[in-house]
Structure 1
């Protein structure tokens, strides 16, 4: 008897594709599961992924050996064992309560004017039209400036943090190549030292930034190193993913001038456009979860100890859930994409902030420019499990 194995999903092979979505479609058509790495199954269909992102039979907390295999010996494995993204309750609950107040929707709303001012400042050189790179001029600069103010970094820290945060974001992948580990460790050590120094500089002084508040936390509630590591995590997680949302969004809108025209006619549609841009080309394509209790998917029982890779990017393009998923439609509503991890306790902490920054950028572009078009070929950053750009050259004309 011939046994037909499910297809194999290789994140590295997909990473080199400018457009992986036709490949994702073929995986969905082949069945509900794909083979991943050792002891891994990859879930690609929306109907399966959506309920699993908040399923308490799965967990985000892996043992140190898992992180050591993926990231190598040294501080990276310990670091990723500390961060909120990779913790389950009760540790996750404590960390989210400590880190969350700055990132609630009301807190972000209070900072919207400041975000708008930063966008206007960054785009001032092209206010009267011209060429600019959406990555280097805008997407690479806005999120880290916003985060620096939230967290409590000094202005002189920003330019040094940005490249190291991007380097450290490489460790988000399910496997970090040997050739990239030394630079990633160096970035982590540098950022830990910076944040630690900022903790010490606060002393007992009160402030309205995150570091000032965390400085007052009782060590019995959360240890100082865990707090430092989670601030480092926020700096690179909030920077890299929002940067990629902005660059992916600018590239998509420039390539679809009709959609940009809709936003110029009605800037009130920008919030829907942000959701559609998140669905259309999600910055984070997958989430990994450890199976704690048996889970049945497509007639196959997944045993405890196995890893499920939930493919958000594939689910967001599932024809069974979204009409014309390959088309960008800034009026799409409802839009139940999974780009912030769907639901459950691990919903992205910075979702409200990322949405606010994207809304500010795309509202500015819609109101200030009569047209926005590519000024040359956009260049992808090919990284496993993420979608981002190295360069998005644009030409804009004022309204």
Structure 2
């Protein structure tokens, strides 16, 4: 069956405000109709776990989109050049080279060494935040902590951190499927500012190496492979942004999950050995990144239909994580769920480079929350806002999660 025979397929439409806040009922309806639905022009959306998992690893799909596609999304300018240089948007063999070099810099031992410092940062933030038995899980913890971690990792001076974060939020717009005309200039300007900033910082590290991630990226080499200055700067910018965007969502959704599910919280407190499984369940239950996209490099069959070369394929990671064909009672939070083959960090060659760091942060944060407080409970309505860009775009993100503690 070919693309021409698709009149009965449902269409994935991102317009209903209620869907933007809670897409899971819509995901379920789409899965019931089949593994494939239509998106925008020349765009297909994949909903089920088996198909999403297979396509994440399928070399017939790539991440290098034509420059015309990115010009259409963000408009011509520096942000397009940035997108075409970072690891997430490169295919083998360039992706292989970049991943080897960046993985050497952001190594598992480096991530694991941060467990105690992250726990101390968490304690400090909570000490300042908890007043009258409440704190805001987003504003007081999920937003500032990952920024502190990435700033510490990269050796960003304290006086520069607010400005770097502000520009990085503008850069996040470049990862949206489409940026409104009025917001494009800010994305391009932020890329220019951040490139200048990280280039200057990196040159200083080359002159006087430190023990931070920025030095490791600047010096990264494996055999004849090394990063050009442009690649090092742009991928540092990307790692900084990706390092706080994803983990902010993980901490926020995990806190919401614990507060909303007192029985599972009690279960976890009674058996702290479940904490690693609980973290994976938070990742599955409400994925920090709901979608990832690919481009068909040659025809690919999905759900009995052949997708032609040059089509955009949207893989609904969050829908796959709730697929009844793969997970028992997927709408239920189960802190002991095993096995838990969620796809929140993607898969294949583009498996999330910072997955280890995100897990280290999550373990430290939720461990300290359980240690410090006997109970976490909702303290008021959660506040949502449409994500103005970034990997969850155009879904909604938490703006506030009031938590009562005792």
- TM-score bracket, normalised by the shorter chain, equals over 0.9
Retained in 2: the 8 A contact 1:101–1:107? Answer: no
User: 1:39-75 CA distances to partner (integer Å, 9 max, x unpaired)?
Assistant: 1110001111111111111111112111111111111
**Residues 1:256 and 2:265 are matched in the alignment:** no
Partner Cα separation in structure 2 for residue 124 and residue 111 of structure 1:
20
Partner of residue 60, structure 1: 63
Which residue does the alignment assign to 1:107?
110
Matches of 1:174 and 1:233, distance apart in 2: 17
* Contact 1:204–1:215 under 8 Å retained in 2: no
Matched, 1:213 2:213: no
Any idea what the Cα deviations from partners look like across 1:242-301, whole Å, max 9, x if unmatched?
111111111121111222222222222111111101111111111111111221111101
Whether 1:364 and 2:373 are equivalent positions in the alignment is no
- 1:291-317: per-residue Cα shift (whole Å, max 9, x none)? 112211111011111111111011111
Is the 1:317–1:325 Cα contact (8 Å) retained in structure 2? yes
Q: For residue 220 of structure 1, report the CA deviation from its aligned partner.
A: 7.9
Q: Which runs of 5+ in 1 are unaligned?
A: none
> In the alignment, what sits opposite 1:394?
403
Cα distance in 2 for residues equivalent to 1:256 and 1:105 = 32
Provide the TM-score with structure 2 as the length reference.
0.92
3-state SS of paired residue (1:254): helix
Alpha-carbon distance in 2 for matches of 1:358, 1:52: 28
1:127–1:368 contact (8 Å) kept in structure 2: no
Residues 220 and 112 of structure 1: is their aligned pair in 2 closer, same or farther, counting only changes over 3 Å? closer
CA contact (8 A) 1:33 1:298 kept: yes
Residues 63-72 or 216-225, more deviating: 216-225
In the alignment, which residue of structure 1 is the partner of 2:50?
Answer: 47
CA contact 1:192–1:229 (8 Å) conserved in 2: yes
> Residue 354 of structure 1 aligns with which residue?
358
Equivalent residue in structure 1 for 2:381, among 349, 373, 377: 377
- The equivalent residue for 2:27 is 24
Residue-pair matches, total: 395
Please state if 1:156 is matched with 2:159: yes
Q: Which residue of 2 aligns with 1:92?
A: 95
Which TM-score applies when normalising by structure 1? 0.93
Q: Name 2:175's counterpart in structure 1.
A: 172
**Which stretch has the larger CA shift, 356-365 or 118-127?**
118-127
Question: Does 2:338 align with 1:333?
Answer: yes
Report the Cα distance in structure 1 between the residues aligned to 2:53 and 2:6, rounded to whole angstroms.
29
Residues 288 and 309, structure 1, Cα contact 8 Å, conserved in 2:
yes
Q: Sort the Cα spacing of 1:46 and 1:14 in 2 relative to 1 into closer, same or farther, 3 A.
A: farther
Aligned-residue Cα RMSD (Å) equals: 2.1
- Once residues 102 and 144 of structure 1 are traced to their aligned partners in structure 2, the CA distance between those partners, rounded to angstroms, is 19
Gapped runs of 5+ residues in structure 2? 388-392
Name the residue aligned to 1:242.
Answer: 247
1:228: which partner in 2? Answer: 233
* Alignment partner, residue 301 of structure 2: 296
Aligned mates of 1:276, 1:100 — CA distance in 2: 25
Native 8 Å contact 2:104 2:220 kept in 1: no
Change (3 A) 1:318 1:387: farther
